[in-house]
A = this chain, B = another copy of it.
Amino acid sequence: METIKIVKIGGNIINNKEALDSFIANFSKITGPKILVHGGGKLASELAKKMEVPVKMIDGRRVTDEATLDIITMVYAGKINKNIVAQLQANKVNALGFTGADAQTIVSVKRPSKPIDFGYAGDIVKVNTSTLELLLNNGITPVFCAITHDTEGNLLNTNADTIASELAIAFGQNYSTELYYCFEKDGVLRNVDNPDSVIEEIDLNTYQELKNEQVIFEGMIPKLDNCFHALKNKVYQVHIGKTDMLFNQQTKHTLLQL
């Protein structure tokens, strides 16, 4: 099976022009089919502040009322997505920007309003890869922002980590899928205060042990649950670390496999 790389980048890259330029230059050198997924970084909150729309977060997740949905649609699908597409084109990557509404690629349902009402937040129910495969086979690189739709005309704010893993699962049917989560640390750390304490390999057993020992806790648990969910559903490998791991095989990072 052909290998596809699905790469998710977050705020630490998007918020920093130098980091983004460097990432894009390197991402462009990856050969073979690839998909980029980006979050929104601080820009959405900055625009909300300028427009005097209150920013409300619960458990680290944005509550998306109608005004906030407008803002994230402008920032994620407009400013961030199209600037990344233009930069990739300048680096000879034939990029094409997507929300989940585009070509019906990612369908969600609005999250139930109980126990917590997150507003226009979407939980993914279906990924359609056919148009994406057609484009990949023709040398196009899809670039997804963190927005999906419900097929009834509503855009929905959707976690970028989940978009990356659900894309990876869907591509797992026809490809050997490698999923990369790029963030500001070298990987999952045994000791959060020691950047050199990267855990280089985690499988299901060691994951359980690390949770029992409370080495992995709080915000990392849903992130790693998401990764193991992907691995249990035909994704070949998940890598977590700084973007260098994508381009330099010697870079220390965390590799997850079953």
Q: Is A147 an interface residue (CB 8 A)?
A: yes
Q: Is A140 an interface residue (CB 8 A)?
A: yes
A74 touches B78 (CB 8 A): yes
> Contact flags (1/0) for A86-118 with B, using CB distance below 8 Å?
110110001111110111100000000000000
A154 touches B74 (CB 8 A): no
A94 touches B104 (CB 8 A): yes
Residues on B with C-beta less than 8 A from A75 are 74, 78
Residues on B with C-beta less than 8 A from A79 are 70, 73-74, 78
Residues on B with C-beta less than 8 A from A85 are 99, 101-102
Residues on B with C-beta less than 8 A from A90 are 151-153
Residues on B with C-beta less than 8 A from A78 are 73-79, 81
B104 touches A155 (CB 8 A): no
B99 touches A82 (CB 8 A): yes
- Distance of A134 Cα from B137 Cα, bound (Å): 11
B149 touches A138 (CB 8 A): no
Query: CB within 8 A of A86: which of B70, B76, B97, B149?
Result: B149
Q: A144 → chain B, closest Cβ, in Å?
A: 12
- Distance of A94 Cα from B131 Cα, bound (Å): 10
Given A51-B51, A77-B77, A86 contacting B103 (CB threshold 8 A): no
Q: Is A135 an interface residue (CB 8 A)?
A: yes
B97 touches A97 (CB 8 A): yes
Residues on B with C-beta less than 8 A from A151 are 89-90
Query: CB within 8 A of A82: which of B77, B89, B104, B134?
Result: B77
Closest to A155 in B: B86
- Distance of A82 Cα from B101 Cα, bound (Å): 8
Query: CB within 8 A of A50: which of B51, B77, B89?
Result: B51
Q: Is A83 an interface residue (CB 8 A)?
A: yes
Closest to A105 in B: B96
- Distance of A154 Cα from B89 Cα, bound (Å): 10
> Assuming A51-B51, A78-B78, A94-B103, what are 5 further A-B pairs, CB within 8 angstroms?
A77-B82, A89-B149, A97-B99, A131-B138, A134-B138
List residues of chain A with CB under 8 Å of any chain B CB.
47, 50-51, 70, 73-79, 81-83, 85-87, 89-90, 94-99, 101-104, 131, 134-135, 138, 140, 147, 149, 151-155
